[in-house]
Amino acid sequence: MPEAKKLWGGRFSGGTDPLMEAFNESIHFDRRLHAADIQGSQAYAKALKRQGILTAAEQKTLEKGLSAVLREWQEGTFELRPGDEDIHTANERRLSELVGSVAGKLHTGRSRNDQVATDMRLWLRDEVTALIGYLRTLVGALVQRAESDVDVLMPGYTHLQRAQPIRWSHLLLSYAFWFQQDAVRFEQFLPRVAQLPLGSGALAGNPFQVDREWLAKELGFASVAPNSLYGTSDRDFVAELLFHSSLTMVHVSRLAEDLIIYSTAEFGFVKLADAYSTGSSLMPQKKNPDSLELLRGKCGRVFGGMSGFMMTYKGLPSTYNKDMQEDKEPMFDAVDTLSGSLQITAAVIATLKINPDKMRGSLTADMLATDLAEYLVRKGVPFRETHHISGAAVKMAEDRSCQISDLSVADLKTLHPSFEKDVMQTWDFEKSVDRRSSIGGTSRATVKAQIDQLKQWLA
Protein backbone atom coordinates (compact mmCIF):
# COMPACT_ATOMS: atom_id res chain seq x y z
CA MET A 1 0.00 0.00 0.00
CA PRO A 2 1.46 3.42 -0.90
CA GLU A 3 2.33 5.73 1.98
CA ALA A 4 -0.60 7.93 2.98
CA LYS A 5 -0.32 11.56 1.95
CA LYS A 6 0.17 13.91 4.84
CA LEU A 7 -2.36 16.71 5.28
CA TRP A 8 0.51 19.19 5.18
CA GLY A 9 2.80 17.43 2.67
CA GLY A 10 2.23 19.32 -0.59
CA ARG A 11 5.14 21.70 -0.07
CA PHE A 12 7.65 18.93 0.75
CA SER A 13 9.60 16.69 -1.61
CA GLY A 14 11.88 14.93 0.86
CA GLY A 15 10.89 12.23 3.32
CA THR A 16 10.71 12.57 7.09
CA ASP A 17 13.30 11.02 9.40
CA PRO A 18 11.58 7.96 10.97
CA LEU A 19 12.70 9.15 14.39
CA MET A 20 11.13 12.55 13.71
CA GLU A 21 8.01 10.75 12.44
CA ALA A 22 7.61 9.03 15.80
CA PHE A 23 8.59 12.18 17.71
CA ASN A 24 5.96 14.21 15.86
CA GLU A 25 2.99 11.86 16.01
CA SER A 26 0.37 12.15 18.75
CA ILE A 27 -2.13 9.47 17.75
CA HIS A 28 -1.18 7.24 20.67
CA PHE A 29 -2.77 9.75 23.07
CA ASP A 30 -5.03 12.08 21.07
CA ARG A 31 -7.04 9.12 19.78
CA ARG A 32 -9.15 9.79 22.86
CA LEU A 33 -10.55 12.77 20.98
CA HIS A 34 -11.98 10.56 18.21
CA ALA A 35 -15.65 11.11 19.10
CA ALA A 36 -15.22 14.86 19.61
CA ASP A 37 -13.31 15.11 16.31
CA ILE A 38 -16.14 13.39 14.44
CA GLN A 39 -18.81 15.45 16.19
CA GLY A 40 -17.03 18.67 15.20
CA SER A 41 -16.55 17.46 11.62
CA GLN A 42 -20.20 16.56 11.19
CA ALA A 43 -21.25 20.01 12.40
CA TYR A 44 -18.68 21.67 10.13
CA ALA A 45 -19.99 19.72 7.13
CA LYS A 46 -23.46 21.11 7.84
CA ALA A 47 -22.01 24.61 8.07
CA LEU A 48 -20.30 24.15 4.68
CA LYS A 49 -23.59 23.00 3.17
CA ARG A 50 -25.28 26.13 4.51
CA GLN A 51 -22.69 28.19 2.62
CA GLY A 52 -23.08 26.20 -0.60
CA ILE A 53 -19.60 24.64 -0.40
CA LEU A 54 -21.22 21.20 -0.10
CA THR A 55 -24.40 19.94 -1.71
CA ALA A 56 -27.02 18.35 0.50
CA ALA A 57 -26.06 14.94 -0.92
CA GLU A 58 -22.38 15.53 -0.21
CA GLN A 59 -23.11 16.61 3.33
CA LYS A 60 -25.23 13.50 3.95
CA THR A 61 -22.48 11.30 2.50
CA LEU A 62 -19.92 12.85 4.82
CA GLU A 63 -22.25 12.59 7.82
CA LYS A 64 -22.89 8.88 7.19
CA GLY A 65 -19.22 8.23 6.51
CA LEU A 66 -18.17 9.96 9.73
CA SER A 67 -20.79 7.97 11.67
CA ALA A 68 -19.29 4.78 10.21
CA VAL A 69 -15.82 5.88 11.34
CA LEU A 70 -17.19 6.53 14.83
CA ARG A 71 -18.74 3.05 14.97
CA GLU A 72 -15.36 1.54 14.13
CA TRP A 73 -13.80 3.39 17.06
CA GLN A 74 -16.63 2.34 19.37
CA GLU A 75 -16.44 -1.31 18.28
CA GLY A 76 -12.64 -1.38 18.45
CA THR A 77 -12.25 -2.21 14.75
CA PHE A 78 -10.63 1.06 13.63
CA GLU A 79 -7.23 0.21 12.15
CA LEU A 80 -4.47 2.74 12.50
CA ARG A 81 -2.12 3.00 9.51
CA PRO A 82 1.39 4.40 9.03
CA GLY A 83 1.00 8.11 8.45
CA ASP A 84 -1.89 8.49 10.92
CA GLU A 85 0.07 11.06 12.89
CA ASP A 86 -2.88 12.40 14.83
CA ILE A 87 -6.59 11.77 15.32
CA HIS A 88 -7.57 14.28 12.60
CA THR A 89 -5.35 12.61 10.01
CA ALA A 90 -6.57 9.15 10.99
CA ASN A 91 -10.26 10.06 10.81
CA GLU A 92 -9.92 11.90 7.52
CA ARG A 93 -7.89 9.09 5.99
CA ARG A 94 -10.51 6.52 6.96
CA LEU A 95 -13.34 8.78 5.79
CA SER A 96 -11.66 9.04 2.37
CA GLU A 97 -11.49 5.26 2.16
CA LEU A 98 -15.21 4.99 2.93
CA VAL A 99 -16.71 7.83 0.86
CA GLY A 100 -14.05 8.74 -1.69
CA SER A 101 -12.87 12.13 -2.89
CA VAL A 102 -15.76 14.09 -1.39
CA ALA A 103 -13.94 13.67 1.95
CA GLY A 104 -11.41 16.18 0.63
CA LYS A 105 -14.04 18.93 0.77
CA LEU A 106 -14.52 18.61 4.52
CA HIS A 107 -11.38 20.54 5.37
CA THR A 108 -12.38 23.57 3.29
CA GLY A 109 -11.56 26.69 5.31
CA ARG A 110 -10.66 24.60 8.33
CA SER A 111 -7.25 24.03 9.88
CA ARG A 112 -6.06 21.43 12.32
CA ASN A 113 -5.39 24.45 14.54
CA ASP A 114 -9.05 25.35 15.05
CA GLN A 115 -10.06 21.70 14.72
CA VAL A 116 -7.93 20.43 17.61
CA ALA A 117 -8.90 23.33 19.87
CA THR A 118 -12.56 22.50 19.19
CA ASP A 119 -12.01 18.78 19.80
CA MET A 120 -10.34 19.45 23.14
CA ARG A 121 -13.09 21.76 24.32
CA LEU A 122 -15.83 19.33 23.26
CA TRP A 123 -14.11 16.46 25.07
CA LEU A 124 -13.34 18.50 28.17
CA ARG A 125 -16.86 19.91 28.46
CA ASP A 126 -18.28 16.40 28.93
CA GLU A 127 -15.47 15.34 31.26
CA VAL A 128 -15.86 18.39 33.50
CA THR A 129 -19.58 17.68 33.74
CA ALA A 130 -18.69 14.16 34.92
CA LEU A 131 -16.19 15.55 37.45
CA ILE A 132 -18.89 17.79 38.92
CA GLY A 133 -21.05 14.67 39.33
CA TYR A 134 -18.24 12.84 41.17
CA LEU A 135 -17.75 15.83 43.46
CA ARG A 136 -21.44 15.93 44.28
CA THR A 137 -21.37 12.21 45.08
CA LEU A 138 -18.42 12.77 47.42
CA VAL A 139 -20.16 15.68 49.15
CA GLY A 140 -23.23 13.47 49.52
CA ALA A 141 -21.16 10.71 51.14
CA LEU A 142 -19.63 13.16 53.61
CA VAL A 143 -23.03 14.66 54.45
CA GLN A 144 -24.56 11.23 54.98
CA ARG A 145 -21.74 10.25 57.35
CA ALA A 146 -21.96 13.57 59.17
CA GLU A 147 -25.68 13.10 59.71
CA SER A 148 -25.41 9.55 61.00
CA ASP A 149 -22.40 10.27 63.26
CA VAL A 150 -23.57 13.65 64.56
CA ASP A 151 -23.30 12.74 68.26
CA VAL A 152 -19.68 11.57 68.09
CA LEU A 153 -17.20 13.89 69.82
CA MET A 154 -13.45 13.97 69.19
CA PRO A 155 -10.47 16.23 69.77
CA GLY A 156 -9.98 19.03 67.31
CA TYR A 157 -6.35 19.75 66.51
CA THR A 158 -4.16 22.71 65.68
CA HIS A 159 -0.45 22.11 64.98
CA LEU A 160 -1.38 18.42 65.40
CA GLN A 161 -1.83 19.13 69.12
CA ARG A 162 -5.13 18.55 70.88
CA ALA A 163 -6.93 21.88 71.02
CA GLN A 164 -10.70 21.85 71.67
CA PRO A 165 -13.47 19.25 71.52
CA ILE A 166 -15.46 19.14 68.27
CA ARG A 167 -17.94 16.86 66.59
CA TRP A 168 -16.54 14.26 64.17
CA SER A 169 -19.32 15.44 61.85
CA HIS A 170 -17.92 18.95 62.00
CA LEU A 171 -14.60 17.70 60.61
CA LEU A 172 -16.31 15.75 57.82
CA LEU A 173 -18.39 18.79 56.89
CA SER A 174 -15.29 20.99 56.62
CA TYR A 175 -14.17 18.76 53.75
CA ALA A 176 -17.69 18.65 52.31
CA PHE A 177 -17.61 22.44 51.98
CA TRP A 178 -14.19 22.32 50.33
CA PHE A 179 -15.44 19.82 47.78
CA GLN A 180 -18.61 21.85 47.27
CA GLN A 181 -16.47 24.86 46.39
CA ASP A 182 -14.44 22.69 44.00
CA ALA A 183 -17.67 21.71 42.26
CA VAL A 184 -18.78 25.35 42.08
CA ARG A 185 -15.44 26.31 40.52
CA PHE A 186 -15.84 23.61 37.87
CA GLU A 187 -19.41 24.76 37.19
CA GLN A 188 -18.19 28.34 36.71
CA PHE A 189 -15.42 27.00 34.47
CA LEU A 190 -17.79 25.23 32.05
CA PRO A 191 -18.89 28.34 30.11
CA ARG A 192 -15.22 29.21 29.52
CA VAL A 193 -14.60 25.72 28.16
CA ALA A 194 -17.67 26.01 25.92
CA GLN A 195 -16.26 28.79 23.72
CA LEU A 196 -16.09 27.80 20.05
CA PRO A 197 -12.75 28.09 18.18
CA LEU A 198 -14.05 26.36 15.02
CA GLY A 199 -14.19 28.78 12.11
CA SER A 200 -10.98 30.53 13.13
CA GLY A 201 -9.02 28.72 10.44
CA ALA A 202 -5.28 28.38 10.90
CA LEU A 203 -5.08 31.83 12.49
CA ALA A 204 -6.69 34.52 10.30
CA GLY A 205 -10.32 33.41 10.17
CA ASN A 206 -12.62 31.59 7.75
CA PRO A 207 -12.88 32.92 4.16
CA PHE A 208 -16.19 31.19 3.34
CA GLN A 209 -18.35 33.14 5.80
CA VAL A 210 -19.12 30.02 7.83
CA ASP A 211 -21.77 30.90 10.40
CA ARG A 212 -19.87 30.42 13.63
CA GLU A 213 -22.81 31.35 15.85
CA TRP A 214 -24.85 28.61 14.18
CA LEU A 215 -21.92 26.21 14.70
CA ALA A 216 -21.78 27.12 18.38
CA LYS A 217 -25.46 26.29 18.82
CA GLU A 218 -25.11 23.07 16.83
CA LEU A 219 -22.26 21.89 19.06
CA GLY A 220 -23.80 23.15 22.29
CA PHE A 221 -21.21 25.84 22.94
CA ALA A 222 -22.05 28.85 25.07
CA SER A 223 -20.19 31.40 22.95
CA VAL A 224 -17.86 31.96 20.00
CA ALA A 225 -14.15 32.78 20.35
CA PRO A 226 -14.23 36.48 19.38
CA ASN A 227 -10.75 36.61 17.81
CA SER A 228 -9.29 34.00 15.46
CA LEU A 229 -5.72 34.37 16.78
CA TYR A 230 -7.03 33.86 20.29
CA GLY A 231 -9.33 31.04 19.15
CA THR A 232 -6.56 28.86 17.75
CA SER A 233 -3.89 29.49 20.38
CA ASP A 234 -5.83 29.85 23.64
CA ARG A 235 -5.08 27.07 26.12
CA ASP A 236 -6.12 28.91 29.23
CA PHE A 237 -8.90 26.36 29.57
CA VAL A 238 -6.25 23.62 29.93
CA ALA A 239 -4.35 25.68 32.51
CA GLU A 240 -7.57 26.34 34.39
CA LEU A 241 -8.53 22.67 34.34
CA LEU A 242 -5.11 21.75 35.71
CA PHE A 243 -5.36 24.39 38.45
CA HIS A 244 -8.87 23.39 39.52
CA SER A 245 -7.84 19.73 39.46
CA SER A 246 -4.71 20.44 41.50
CA LEU A 247 -6.66 22.39 44.10
CA THR A 248 -9.30 19.66 44.34
CA MET A 249 -6.53 17.07 44.74
CA VAL A 250 -5.04 19.19 47.55
CA HIS A 251 -8.35 18.80 49.37
CA VAL A 252 -8.38 15.06 48.66
CA SER A 253 -4.80 14.82 49.93
CA ARG A 254 -5.53 16.72 53.14
CA LEU A 255 -8.53 14.51 53.90
CA ALA A 256 -6.40 11.43 53.19
CA GLU A 257 -3.69 12.73 55.52
CA ASP A 258 -6.18 13.23 58.38
CA LEU A 259 -7.59 9.74 57.92
CA ILE A 260 -4.12 8.17 57.67
CA ILE A 261 -3.19 9.74 61.02
CA TYR A 262 -6.51 8.81 62.64
CA SER A 263 -6.18 5.20 61.43
CA THR A 264 -2.85 4.59 63.19
CA ALA A 265 -2.76 2.44 66.30
CA GLU A 266 -1.69 5.51 68.25
CA PHE A 267 -4.99 7.22 67.41
CA GLY A 268 -7.33 4.37 66.50
CA PHE A 269 -10.18 6.73 65.63
CA VAL A 270 -11.02 5.17 62.24
CA LYS A 271 -10.61 1.87 60.45
CA LEU A 272 -10.58 1.50 56.68
CA ALA A 273 -12.62 -1.19 54.96
CA ASP A 274 -10.56 -4.13 53.71
CA ALA A 275 -11.49 -3.19 50.15
CA TYR A 276 -9.39 -0.03 50.46
CA SER A 277 -6.45 -1.43 52.44
CA THR A 278 -3.56 -3.81 51.81
CA GLY A 279 -1.25 -5.92 53.94
CA SER A 280 2.50 -6.25 54.30
CA SER A 281 4.57 -8.82 52.41
CA LEU A 282 6.60 -9.36 55.58
CA MET A 283 4.51 -8.40 58.62
CA PRO A 284 1.22 -10.33 58.87
CA GLN A 285 -0.33 -7.93 61.39
CA LYS A 286 -0.17 -4.89 59.10
CA LYS A 287 -3.20 -3.22 57.54
CA ASN A 288 -1.97 -0.36 55.41
CA PRO A 289 -4.12 2.59 54.25
CA ASP A 290 -2.85 2.28 50.67
CA SER A 291 -5.93 3.90 49.13
CA LEU A 292 -5.35 7.03 51.21
CA GLU A 293 -1.62 7.06 50.54
CA LEU A 294 -2.23 6.76 46.81
CA LEU A 295 -4.73 9.61 46.97
CA ARG A 296 -2.16 11.72 48.79
CA GLY A 297 0.47 10.84 46.21
CA LYS A 298 -1.75 11.54 43.19
CA CYS A 299 -1.96 15.18 44.27
CA GLY A 300 1.71 15.65 43.39
CA ARG A 301 1.16 14.01 40.03
CA VAL A 302 -1.61 16.41 39.02
CA PHE A 303 0.24 19.44 40.34
CA GLY A 304 3.34 18.34 38.43
CA GLY A 305 1.31 18.18 35.22
CA MET A 306 0.09 21.72 35.82
CA SER A 307 3.55 23.17 36.51
CA GLY A 308 5.02 21.38 33.48
CA PHE A 309 2.32 22.65 31.16
CA MET A 310 2.62 26.20 32.45
CA MET A 311 6.35 26.18 31.73
CA THR A 312 5.55 25.20 28.13
CA TYR A 313 2.67 27.65 27.74
CA LYS A 314 4.39 30.72 29.16
CA GLY A 315 6.97 31.06 26.38
CA LEU A 316 4.86 30.63 23.25
CA PRO A 317 4.60 33.33 20.59
CA SER A 318 1.16 34.10 19.20
CA THR A 319 -1.16 31.57 17.53
CA TYR A 320 -0.47 27.88 17.10
CA ASN A 321 2.93 26.32 17.86
CA LYS A 322 3.73 22.62 17.96
CA ASP A 323 4.66 22.96 21.63
CA MET A 324 0.90 22.86 22.14
CA GLN A 325 0.98 19.14 21.46
CA GLU A 326 2.10 19.00 25.10
CA ASP A 327 -1.32 20.25 26.25
CA LYS A 328 -3.26 17.02 25.85
CA GLU A 329 -1.45 14.47 28.00
CA PRO A 330 -1.58 16.55 31.21
CA MET A 331 -5.23 17.35 30.45
CA PHE A 332 -6.09 13.67 29.98
CA ASP A 333 -4.05 12.64 33.00
CA ALA A 334 -5.60 15.25 35.29
CA VAL A 335 -9.12 14.20 34.31
CA ASP A 336 -8.33 10.50 34.73
CA THR A 337 -6.57 10.98 38.06
CA LEU A 338 -9.22 13.26 39.50
CA SER A 339 -12.08 11.05 38.32
CA GLY A 340 -10.59 7.96 39.97
CA SER A 341 -9.55 9.82 43.11
CA LEU A 342 -12.97 11.34 43.75
CA GLN A 343 -14.71 8.00 43.33
CA ILE A 344 -12.25 6.20 45.61
CA THR A 345 -12.52 8.95 48.23
CA ALA A 346 -16.31 8.72 48.27
CA ALA A 347 -16.12 4.94 48.66
CA VAL A 348 -13.58 5.21 51.50
CA ILE A 349 -15.83 7.63 53.38
CA ALA A 350 -18.95 5.52 52.85
CA THR A 351 -17.28 2.32 54.13
CA LEU A 352 -15.14 3.81 56.91
CA LYS A 353 -15.66 2.49 60.44
CA ILE A 354 -15.14 4.80 63.38
CA ASN A 355 -14.36 4.14 67.04
CA PRO A 356 -16.47 6.70 68.95
CA ASP A 357 -15.20 5.48 72.35
CA LYS A 358 -11.58 5.98 71.34
CA MET A 359 -12.39 9.45 70.01
CA ARG A 360 -14.17 10.50 73.19
CA GLY A 361 -11.52 8.83 75.33
CA SER A 362 -8.92 11.12 73.76
CA LEU A 363 -10.70 14.18 75.14
CA THR A 364 -8.90 15.59 78.18
CA ALA A 365 -9.94 18.28 80.61
CA ASP A 366 -7.09 20.60 79.63
CA MET A 367 -8.86 20.97 76.25
CA LEU A 368 -11.50 22.93 78.22
CA ALA A 369 -9.02 25.56 79.42
CA THR A 370 -10.50 28.01 76.93
CA ASP A 371 -13.97 27.25 78.35
CA LEU A 372 -12.58 28.12 81.80
CA ALA A 373 -11.43 31.50 80.49
CA GLU A 374 -14.82 32.01 78.84
CA TYR A 375 -16.52 31.24 82.18
CA LEU A 376 -14.79 34.27 83.69
CA VAL A 377 -15.66 36.40 80.64
CA ARG A 378 -19.31 35.71 81.43
CA LYS A 379 -18.57 37.00 84.94
CA GLY A 380 -17.38 40.27 83.46
CA VAL A 381 -13.61 39.70 83.49
CA PRO A 382 -11.75 40.89 80.35
CA PHE A 383 -10.67 38.01 78.10
CA ARG A 384 -6.98 38.96 78.07
CA GLU A 385 -7.03 38.65 81.85
CA THR A 386 -9.04 35.42 81.87
CA HIS A 387 -6.62 33.84 79.40
CA HIS A 388 -3.75 34.32 81.87
CA ILE A 389 -5.88 33.08 84.78
CA SER A 390 -6.82 29.92 82.87
CA GLY A 391 -3.17 29.40 81.97
CA ALA A 392 -2.28 29.65 85.66
CA ALA A 393 -4.92 26.99 86.41
CA VAL A 394 -3.35 24.69 83.78
CA LYS A 395 0.07 25.18 85.43
CA MET A 396 -1.36 24.53 88.88
CA ALA A 397 -2.78 21.21 87.64
CA GLU A 398 0.52 20.30 85.97
CA ASP A 399 2.44 21.08 89.16
CA ARG A 400 0.08 18.80 91.12
CA SER A 401 0.14 16.10 88.38
CA CYS A 402 -3.63 16.17 88.11
CA GLN A 403 -6.27 17.18 85.58
CA ILE A 404 -7.43 20.80 85.57
CA SER A 405 -10.92 19.49 86.34
CA ASP A 406 -9.56 18.01 89.60
CA LEU A 407 -8.88 21.49 90.99
CA SER A 408 -11.37 22.56 93.62
CA VAL A 409 -13.36 25.77 93.66
CA ALA A 410 -11.12 26.91 96.50
CA ASP A 411 -8.04 26.25 94.36
CA LEU A 412 -9.49 28.30 91.52
CA LYS A 413 -10.50 31.14 93.88
CA THR A 414 -6.83 31.61 94.70
CA LEU A 415 -6.45 32.62 91.06
CA HIS A 416 -9.51 34.91 90.87
CA PRO A 417 -12.40 35.65 93.23
CA SER A 418 -15.03 35.38 90.47
CA PHE A 419 -14.90 31.58 90.47
CA GLU A 420 -18.06 30.07 92.01
CA LYS A 421 -19.45 26.55 92.46
CA ASP A 422 -21.00 26.65 88.98
CA VAL A 423 -17.48 26.58 87.49
CA MET A 424 -17.64 22.79 87.83
CA GLN A 425 -20.18 22.75 84.98
CA THR A 426 -17.32 23.84 82.73
CA TRP A 427 -15.91 20.28 82.66
CA ASP A 428 -18.55 18.93 80.30
CA PHE A 429 -17.48 18.17 76.73
CA GLU A 430 -21.03 18.08 75.36
CA LYS A 431 -21.79 21.52 76.79
CA SER A 432 -18.49 22.82 75.47
CA VAL A 433 -19.24 21.88 71.86
CA ASP A 434 -22.84 23.08 72.11
CA ARG A 435 -21.70 26.49 73.34
CA ARG A 436 -20.06 26.93 69.90
CA SER A 437 -23.43 27.81 68.42
CA SER A 438 -22.68 30.73 66.10
CA ILE A 439 -22.99 30.01 62.35
CA GLY A 440 -20.32 27.51 61.37
CA GLY A 441 -19.69 26.27 64.90
CA THR A 442 -19.50 22.71 66.17
CA SER A 443 -22.69 22.67 68.22
CA ARG A 444 -25.31 20.09 67.35
CA ALA A 445 -27.67 22.75 66.00
CA THR A 446 -25.06 24.45 63.82
CA VAL A 447 -23.76 21.14 62.48
CA LYS A 448 -27.33 20.23 61.58
CA ALA A 449 -27.67 23.59 59.84
CA GLN A 450 -24.51 22.86 57.82
CA ILE A 451 -25.92 19.48 56.83
CA ASP A 452 -29.18 21.11 55.71
CA GLN A 453 -27.28 23.74 53.73
CA LEU A 454 -25.33 21.09 51.82
CA LYS A 455 -28.45 18.99 51.30
CA GLN A 456 -30.16 21.97 49.70
CA TRP A 457 -27.16 22.47 47.41
CA LEU A 458 -27.15 18.80 46.46
CA ALA A 459 -30.87 18.94 45.71
Between CA 218 and CA 453 the distance in angstroms is 37
Between CA 388 and CA 282 the distance in angstroms is 52
Is 13 annotated as catalytic?
Answer: no
Give buried/exposed letters for 346-371 (b at 16+ CB in 10 A, else e).
Answer: bbbbeebebbeeebeebbebbbbbeb
Position 65, amino acid: G
Point out the catalytic residue in the list 13, 101, 159, 401. Answer: 159
Sign of the Cα torsion 315, 318, 320, 322 reads: negative
> Closest Cα to residue 74, out of 122, 35, 102?
35
3-state secondary structure 291-310: HHHHHHHHHHHHHHHHHHHH
> Closest Cα to residue 172, out of 282, 259, 90, 85?
259
Residues 6+ apart with CB under 8 A from 23: none
Is 280 annotated as catalytic?
Answer: yes
Point out the catalytic residue in the list 67, 280, 318, 408. Answer: 280
H or E, element range at 256: helix 236-262
Alpha helices in 34-111, H assignment, sequence order: 34-50, 56-75, 87-99
> Closest Cα to residue 48, out of 206, 223, 225, 219?
206
The set of catalytic residues is 159, 280
